[in-house]
Amino acid sequence: MAQPILEVKNLFIDYPISIGTVRAVRDVSFTLYKGDVLGLVGESGCGKSTLGLSLLRLLRPPGKVSGGSIEYEGRDVLAFGTEDLRLLRGAQIAMVFQNPLTSLNPLLRIRDHFFETLRVHNAFTTREEAEKRSGDILEQLGIDRKRLHEYPHQLSGGMRQRIMIGLGLILNPEILIADEPTTSLDVIVEAGFVDLLKDLKVQYNISIILISHNLAMVAEIADRIAVMYGGKIAEIGTAEQIFAEPLHPYTRGLIGCVPNIAVTQDHLVSMPGSPPDLVTPPPGCPFADRCPEVMDVCRTNPPPLKEYNPGQQAACWLHEPESVRDALSHGEAPADAGQQV
């Protein structure tokens, strides 16, 4: 069995605003294993980026974790003090953000970005050592070490994204969180970026959380995929399970929206409707209003995330016995309803 390195349990994240409270993440649980790539996918606004930021306690006010735990190697990150957080960020868990041009300081040369990261963690003794380590990282990422002396605006989008990865790897963390890393890249550069992540996974034996709305890209690299909708995990399983036998109607809808050049299509497929209002989330399944297979129980009872195949979980009443669904629809609570497998 693979060793768990990060465990998120029953996590809730809220954003109090003038008209109420946005319940951005609701009762989310998952496990990241050593050396694995976990893809976190879903539509914009489903809570995946908020979830990623919370793992390093980087939520901006008024966002706050209102329940649950985030355990890194058995320690609850939510209980970390200032010094523990400083040691955690970068050295143990690193994050690559969406837009490298806004993450890199335009007034600093590339080498200065690396020097600052190393200095904050007391990770070098001389400037020459820091420059050598920084140059070595760049060459591993396919960039000439001479680029250390240039400014961010002198590099292409693909190079800037690789620089961000280099900054994440310079301290040899155990986990790399990549939040929409290919959003600003063209398809050719994106393909190279995916190959790069595959190589880094093997070379550094690093665990990766890849956050993206691009299901096809995530499928190329992820060992396991968690599908989010309306602040919750709708389904989680291996990449093969998610694509070969998706259990949740939302997952099937996402896969159906991916253009397939092998099949003649007159038009692009889309899912009708809109994501739920997370200020007043629906009492039942968040996907009920858009689901082509909706039942009465779906509108009144939130389905639990349960294991229906080995290693594959889904939050959907379709896979429960009819007797359970009927009882819940009539306000009863059967003994086996909602139990985790």
Read off the pLDDT of residues 167-197 as tens digits, 9 standing for 90 and up: 999 999 999 999 988 776 777 777 888 888 8
SS3 at position 142: coil
Question: What is the mean predicted confidence (pLDDT) over 32-61?
Answer: 94
28 vs 268, more confident: 28
Q: Identify whether the C-beta of residue 205 lies closer than 8 Å to the C-beta of residue 35.
A: yes
Q: What percent of the chain has pLDDT over 70?
A: 94
3-state secondary structure of 20: strand
Q: Report whether pLDDT(271) > 70.
A: yes
Q: What is the mean pLDDT of residues 218-239?
A: 95
Contacts of 97 (CB under 8 A, 6+ apart): 103, 164, 179
3-state secondary structure 201-265: HHHHCCEEEEEECCHHHHHCCCCEEEEEECCEEEEEEEHHHHHHCCCCHHHHHHHHHCCCCCCCC
pLDDT 10s digits, 68-107: 999 999 999 999 999 999 999 999 999 998 888 788 999 9
**Residue 338 pLDDT class (50, 70, 90 cuts):** very low
Q: CA 38, CA 101: separation in Å to the nearest integer? A: 25
Q: How confident is the model at residue 290 (pLDDT cuts 50, 70, 90)?
A: very high
Quick one: which of 231, 240, 253, 296 has its CA closest to 15?
Answer: 231
What's the pTM value of the predicted model, to 2 decimals? 0.91
